Amino acid sequence: PREIPAPSLPPGVRKQVDFAAEGARVEVRRTVRYRDGRVLENKVVSVYRPWGAVYLVGPTPPPEAPPAPPAQGGGAP
């Protein structure tokens, strides 16, 4: 998958904008028969490469502040 930084998204958000595809090889054949007996045949081949999903990704959220240490209380006996 491909990730594209998107500062317009909230931090930590990941939004899929294109789905993965396996790719394909497509062949189209055409035969034209004329009244005078002529025959025209042709074919067109298209090849589509596979691709991965595409995501827009918001900025990395800032790290959370570590918790404050517990208050040192109590005195000497």
- pLDDT for 18-52, tens place per residue? 999 999 999 999 999 999 999 999 999 999 999 99
pTM of the model: 0.53
Predicted pLDDT at 32:
97
pLDDT of residue 23: 94
More confident residue, 14 or 77: 14
* 4, containing H or E segment: strand 2-5
48: nearest Cα among 20, 69, 18, 71: 20
Tokens of 51: 């691709």
- pLDDT of res. 17: 97
